[in-house]
Structure 1
Amino acid sequence: MELLSVNVGRRKNVAYAGAPSGGTGIDKRPVRGPVAVAAPGAKGVGGSGMAGDEICDLRHHGGDDQAVYAYAREDLDAWQRTLGRSLSDGAFGENLTTSGVDVSGARIGERWRVGSDLVLEVTSGRIPCRTFQGHLDEKGWVKRFTEEGAPGAYLRVVAPGEIRAGDPIEIVHRPAHEVTVALQFRAVTTEKALLPELLAAGDALHPETAERARKYLAQQGAPASP
């Protein structure tokens, strides 16, 4: 398992429909040399966990529970075949482009060591938005991406460190539950009946997702604990 590329983005003003007025940092490009990674702070205050990576919409992006976004090169390759176009590392706005890692099949709370020091913990899948669709310039992209069910993973920083392309990735902890990124993604997008199952992931689950699951249970008249 390997880190193929470390990708960061700078704020850009874009002209496509639905583009954020304050610009976007979704256009991430591979960088050379080591990149420092650390917990950025609470959502709404902290941005990206990656040094040099700009988050423009702090309301929906960034913060400790979405400090880093990873996507598998294998899934990018599959999309290349489907779309009939080349997709470079970072094309989906991911900070880490991986090889040999089942990113969407990772369990919530799974921990990865990247390089010698950095330890990351899986929290949730990426929800597509109009900015993502505009960035790729693919009609109906939000629906297509959602239906595919391979969202990639957001991660929080457990131990800070420096990383670079070529670093090994090691799974150092895999929880006993079966709540994967793909399952979490389906539960919050197309299959709400799955929401209660997510609570088995405990405190590792993204807090917004956990709250969503508890509200769903309350609406069903069920206790909020798994």
Structure 2
Amino acid sequence: MSRSRQPPLVTGISPNEGIPWTKVTIRGENLGTGPTDLIGLTICGHNCLLTAEWMSASKIVCRVGQAKNDKGDIIVTTKSGGKGTSTVSFKLLKPEKIGILDQSAVWVDEMNYYDMRTDRNKGIPPLSLRPANPLGIEIEKSKFPQKDLEMLFHGMSADFTSENFSASWYLIENHSNTSFEQLKMAVTNLKRQANKKSEGSLAYVKGGLSTFFEAQDALSGSL
């Protein structure tokens, strides 16, 4: 099946190096026709779609995630043009540990988010804000020991923004007593939100849909 447009081409990124959660501006050609056309964005192999803000066909703003690779390409994927290429790369730096009394030239964002797995508040940039309850249904923490889950899903994560996300782990940890019908309703609600032509978070919602489709498939396979 032929694509209607040329593949995306990333020709610039600013800054071209930084620690995880650094805000970057990506520039290039054929970067999509709109927020809904943008279906993939990776930097150094890490999926950054959830933090992406489509600005124009030549500009995207996002936050760099905690990638495994120290240096890598910036790959944009669109519905209209498919998987793109990059002529530039991004270098991921290791963050320095700064004590509370140490002087630093870095301004730290004071926005907090709620971490579902550790029940602790952590500072995180606004573009990376994640909802505490993405499915929109009541969360009932499972009684399974965390260590057992980590052994069962070795190398995976219940964090839905992680590239190693495990839908089964997420469901066991947060919705072990939730009925299948409730989960299907949650997915339907997410679809409805994604279809609304609203501002700001449209690409964010659509980017997370595949995660919950996978969750639904995982639950279906267990019945």
Is the shorter-chain TM-score for this pair beyond 0.5, marking a shared fold?
Answer: no
TM-score (norm 2): 0.29
Q: Which one has more relative contact order, counting CA pairs under 8 Å at least 6 apart?
A: 1
Find the structure with the greater CA-based Rg: 2
TM-score (norm 1): 0.29
